């Protein structure tokens, strides 16, 4: 038994923890949980916890349903919203086959495989997400529209405001479970908020995002409100994204930084961006997995709709933040297309995998977008090579179907199940809406 496992067992005993929740996700990113008695934790470390994988979306077929959940002791945390008496804790799990091998269908394992490839190339990947969400008065609709908790806008300070109190409580709770917060503020839409997590390695960030969503939902329930990560809950207000900053390190050196280069951007960084831009249409179904996602991408409100990159240009799909003198170690790129409702394990796997492909193949980066991409005419965008992202989930599925890269990153089982799931979602949507709405909102007819 290693030291982390010993620490977990000792903490459970000393803190009188009564329930240990084992967490993992299905293929679309829904959080799954099973509560373990404290006396069973040591056995779970040694042998894993058996369960029916065929009952979990995309995890296993009926004839190979036996799976094992192996808790990762490094992710152990007490859950503060469960109270101080009869405390509850959680650990994320890796999903294994009965012979102890990592399951090819486990989203966490998909990201681990991609990070292992990066490590083989000499890189460690760090990420920093900016997570947006809406805070509503309740789940109920009024005249078919959600009701936000306030009418505030970007960076608004609302004295005594519900959102301000909410963010303070949420940040305190996040930090109590080991998630460092950089800052928080009111976003552009009424009731819309943003909380930015401090940078961490990509696997820890994905775990943090899953915990973040749970914390936000729990705090909202405690305060009599409702939080939603739906990409576009309002037609007339901005959607909720999860802009994520990426950087690659070689040991202690930031591989994206080159002093004296244009924008202080290294050749590695330029190839990484080129890989993301070239393969973005193929992985958009993963980073933007719902029908509603495309109402955000093509609904205005600073959502990126075209394949472009730029220095400090917030209209571009990939942005290179402004360089600060003496801050070479903070060199990074920001991908602005991801929804805050994505499966973070799969989303980060495909983004990192596409960037690594650009490095491996030595992709050339096109010229940076210097103008507001949204304000250009179609002819101007075409002349500059700013081709559009998929306009609908249907288009994104078709682009993903033909992608050898995404199939290789996700693995056959996840790739095939993800496509089946999204085709079913698209078909269900088509049965519920009129041809006019399809044409109006998605432009596919």
Structure tokens at 194: 């943003």
pLDDT greater at residue 378 or residue 241: 241
pLDDT for res 291: 93
Q: For 158-172, write each residue's pLDDT tens digit.
A: 777 788 899 999 999
Given a contact cutoff of 8 angstroms between Cβ atoms, the answer to whether 105 and 413 are in contact is yes
Q: Which long-range contacts (CB under 8 A, 24 or more apart) does 7-12 make?
A: 7/73, 7/76, 8/41, 8/45, 8/73, 8/76, 8/91, 9/41, 9/42, 11/76, 11/78, 11/89, 12/38, 12/41, 12/89
Q: Residue 214 above 90 pLDDT? A: yes
Q: Residue 153 above 70 pLDDT? A: yes
> Residue range 93-119: average pLDDT?
95
How high does pLDDT run on average in the chain?
A: 91
Given a contact cutoff of 8 angstroms between Cβ atoms, the answer to whether 21 and 40 are in contact is no
Give the Cα separation of 17 and 80 in Å (integer). 12
DSSP 442: I
- φ, ψ at 403 (rounded to 5°): -95, 110
Q: Residue 403 above 70 pLDDT? A: yes
Angle at 276 between CA 274 and CA 279, to 5 degrees: 105
Range picked from 203-212, 296-305, 381-390 for highest mean pLDDT: 203-212
Question: 51 falls in which pLDDT band (50, 70, 90)?
Answer: confident
Overall CATH class of domain 113-442: alpha beta
The domain ranges of the chain are: 15-103, 113-442
Give just the sign of the alpha carbon dihedral 360, 366, 370, 374.
Answer: negative
Question: 154 falls in which pLDDT band (50, 70, 90)?
Answer: confident
Angle at 282 between CA 116 and CA 372, to 5 degrees: 105
Question: 386 falls in which pLDDT band (50, 70, 90)?
Answer: confident
pLDDT for res 226: 96
Overall CATH class of domain 15-103: alpha beta
Which uninterrupted H or E stretch holds 227? Answer: strand 226-228
pLDDT for res 57: 66
Three-class DSSP category at 63 = helix
Question: 434 falls in which pLDDT band (50, 70, 90)?
Answer: low
Q: Residue 144 above 90 pLDDT? A: no
Which uninterrupted H or E stretch holds 20? Answer: strand 17-25
pLDDT for res 327: 76
Q: Residue 37 above 80 pLDDT? A: yes
> Residue range 187-198: average pLDDT?
95
Q: Residue 438 above 80 pLDDT? A: no
Q: For 407-424, write each residue's pLDDT tens digit.
A: 999 999 999 999 999 999
| pLDDT above 70 as % of the chain | 95
pTM (predicted TM-score):
0.94
Q: Residue 376 above 90 pLDDT? A: no
| Rg of the chain taking only CA atoms, in angstroms | 22
> Residue range 204-233: average pLDDT?
96
Q: For 346-368, write each residue's pLDDT tens digit.
A: 999 999 999 999 999 999 999 98
pLDDT for res 437: 60
Q: Residue 63 above 70 pLDDT? A: no
Q: In angstroms, what CA-CA distances link 138 with 123, 142, 217, 223, 348? A: 45, 10, 12, 11, 31
Three-class DSSP category at 186 = strand
pLDDT for res 83: 75
Looking up tokens 């010993």, which residue turns up? Answer: 6
Q: Residue 259 above 70 pLDDT? A: yes
Q: For 269-319, write each residue's pLDDT tens digit.
A: 999 999 999 999 999 999 999 999 999 999 877 789 999 999 888 889 999
């Amino acid at each position: 038994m290693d030291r982390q496992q010993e620490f977990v067992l000792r903490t459970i005993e000393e803190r009188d923890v009564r329930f240990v929740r084992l967490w993992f996700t299905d293929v679309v990113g829904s959080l799954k949980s099973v509560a373990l008695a404290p006396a069973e934790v040591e056995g779970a470390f040694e042998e894993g916890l058996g369960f029916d994988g065929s009952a979990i979306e995309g995890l296993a077929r009926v004839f190979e349903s036996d799976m094992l959940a192996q808790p990762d002791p490094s992710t152990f945390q007490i859950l503060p919203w469960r109270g101080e008496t009869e405390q509850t804790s959680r650990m994320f799990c890796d999903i294994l086959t009965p012979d102890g091998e990592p399951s090819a269908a486990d989203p966490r394992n998909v990201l681990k495989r991609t990070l292992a490839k990066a490590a083989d190339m000499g890189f460690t990947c760090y990420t920093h997400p900016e997570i947006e969400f809406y805070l509503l008065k309740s789940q109920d609709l009024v005249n078919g529209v959600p009701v936000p908790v306030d009418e505030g806008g970007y960076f608004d300070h609302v004295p005594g405001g519900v959102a301000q109190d909410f963010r303070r409580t949420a940040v305190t709770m996040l930090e109590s479970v080991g998630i460092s917060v950089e800052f928080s503020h009111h976003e552009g839409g009424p009731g819309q908020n943003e909380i930015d997590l401090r940078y961490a390695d990509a696997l820890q960030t994905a775990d943090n995002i899953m915990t973040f969503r749970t914390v936000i939902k729990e705090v909202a329930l405690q305060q009599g409100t409702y939080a939603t990560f739906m990409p576009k809950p309002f037609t007339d207000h901005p959607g909720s994204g999860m802009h994520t900053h990426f950087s690659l390190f070689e040991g202690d050196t930031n591989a994206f930084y080159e002093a004296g280069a244009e924008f202080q951007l290294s050749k590695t960084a330029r190839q990484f961006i080129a890989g993301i831009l070239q393969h973005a249409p193929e992985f958009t179904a993963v980073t933007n997995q719902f029908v509603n996602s495309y109402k955000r991408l093509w609904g205005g409100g600073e959502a990126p709709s075209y394949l472009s990159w730029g220095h400090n240009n917030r209209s571009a799909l990939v942005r290179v933040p402004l360089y600060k003198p003496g801050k070479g170690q903070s060199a990074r790129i920001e991908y602005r297309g991801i929804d805050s409702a994505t499966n973070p394990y799969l989303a980060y796997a495909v983004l990192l995998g596409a960037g690594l492909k650009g490095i491996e193949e030595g992709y050339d980066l096109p010229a940076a977008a210097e103008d507001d991409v949204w304000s250009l005419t179609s002819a101007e965008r075409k002349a500059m090579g700013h081709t559009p992202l998929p306009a609908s989930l249907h288009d994104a599925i078709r682009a993903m179907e033909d992608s050898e890269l995404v199939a290789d990153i996700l693995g056959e089982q996840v790739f095939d199940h993800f496509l089946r799931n999204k085709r079913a979602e698209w078909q269900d949507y088509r049965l519920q809406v009129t041809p006019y709405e399809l044409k109006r909102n998605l432009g596919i007819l």
